[in-house]
Amino acid sequence: MRKVYFDHNASTPVHPEVAAAVQPFLGDLFGNPSSIHWAGRDVRKAVEDARAEIASFYGCRPLEVVFTSSGTEADNLAVKGVAYRPGNAGKHIVTSRVEHPAIMNTCLFLESQGFRVTYVPVNRQGIVEPEAVRSALENDTILVSVMAANNETGCLMPIAEIGAIAREAGVLMHTDAVQATGKVPLPWESLPVDLLTFSGHKVNGIKGAGGLVVRKGIEIEAVLHGGHQERGRRGGTENLPGIVGFGVAAECAARELKAEAPRLLALRGRLEAGLRAALPDTVIHGERAPRLPNTVNASFPGARSDHLLMALDARGVCVSAGAACASGAVEPSPVLQAMGVPRDLAVCALRLSMGRDTRADDVDRVIAALGESVRAVRGAAATAGAKGA
């Protein structure tokens, strides 16, 4: 059975150039980048080269790049780092109802510490409207955090407009660009954004390396206190292979983005058209919104997503369920709920996400496997319903 991986928004295969580049750092190049002897100097250069590569990818300055262990840590650093920064008196944060748990749960934590958070809604297409952000601002708002692209639907948020509103109000703007990185341009110099999160393993790097771009002149409090690494903004010995790998991944993404974006968009069109032909009642979420070229989030009415996931897995196809299963009961995704998707449709949603290794025949395999799986799951549900009646 040929396996097909359609879950690139969860993680991506390591780029062969990344795998080759990190090898020496699992062998002779093992020093601590903070050591001043030869073993440290060799690897310090590698960390700084990777920083320069990532800076060139975003168009920011190398000193604006702070390495962390993950996108999750970078999101924590952005939000808590602003909340606890020296001299901050404000207690209010604006974010959206469709953020990743790395932002959502950080905001919930800060609420427990006396901060106030406004969770701005999205429209039916899954987009945060800039005017809704403007209305949410209060006198003591310190941060607006709105993601660049949603991980479940791929919806692209108008972060330039939202950032302009934040800037006009004198409020810092953070964007979680974990999913947008490498898929759409993120021109740091012209974006009115002060803090930007990225994660290596979403762009064919290796796991355990992410980071935050912090605009020059902006001071944030560290979340991990320790040594003076990352200019005191993140204590802890750097993940050398992860950082080197991300530097190479960024270089590859910069080189490949121009060709990859239209290629993936064509594959997305093929996938959506194929699903519609095979299963005419398919509902594509955020269909009319600007979306990442690699992501389709769709519901297959009458076929629960956890059952579909297993049926597809049995056919060698990896996708992600848009609903979480807790002790047998399915909970619809908060993102789809925020978009106003009815519960019975939301529990039948799948996320299909493609990447640089996806080919047209993979798309055709997924369409065929989904057709079979939906029919099988619907058939089983009908039989169970008849037995129960």
Catalytic residues: 325
Segment contacting ligand PLP (CB under 6 A): 30-38, 68-76, 241-249, 251-259? 68-76
Closer to ligand PLP by CB, 70 or 299: give it.
Answer: 70
Q: Is 81 in the site for ligand PLP (CB under 6 A)?
A: no
72 touching ligand PLP, by CB under 6 A: yes
How many residues make contact with ligand PLP (CB under 6 A)? 13
Question: Helix or strand or coil: residue 50?
Answer: helix
Q: Which of 96, 151, 181, 305: binder of ligand PLP (CB under 6 A)?
A: 151
Measured from the CB atom, the residue of 69 and 358 that comes closer to ligand PLP is 69
Determine if 179 is a binding residue for ligand PLP (CB under 6 A): yes
Residue nearest to ligand PLP (CB): 71
- Let me know: does 297 contact 284? Beta carbons within 8 Å: yes
Examine residue 77 and tell whether it contacts ligand PLP (CB under 6 A): no
Chosen residue from 96, 145, 199, 204 binding ligand PLP by CB under 6 A: 199
321 binds ligand PLP (CB under 6 A): no
d(CA 335, CA 327): 21
DSSP character string of 9-64: TT--PPPHHHHHHHGGGGTT----TT--SHHHHHHHHHHHHHHHHHHHHHT--GGG
242 near ligand PLP (CB under 6 A): no
Q: If you search the block for the tokens 């974010």, which residue do you land on? A: 95
Using a 10 angstrom Cβ sphere, with 0-12 exposed, 13-18 middle and 19 or more buried, the burial of residue 121 is middle
The one segment of 69-77, 118-126, 131-139, 351-359 that binds ligand PLP by CB under 6 A: 69-77
Instruction: Give the three-class secondary structure for 144.
Output: strand
210-214 and 65-68 as β-strands: parallel, antiparallel, unpaired? Answer: antiparallel
> Which residues have CB under 8 Å from 304's CB, separation 6+?
323, 330, 347, 348, 377, 381
Applying CB under 6 A, among 14, 146, 178, 267 the residue interacting with ligand PLP is 178
Interface residue with ligand PLP among 22, 50, 147, 377 (CB under 6 A) is 147
Contacts to ligand PLP by CB under 6 A: 70-72, 75, 100, 102, 147, 151, 176, 178-179, 199, 210
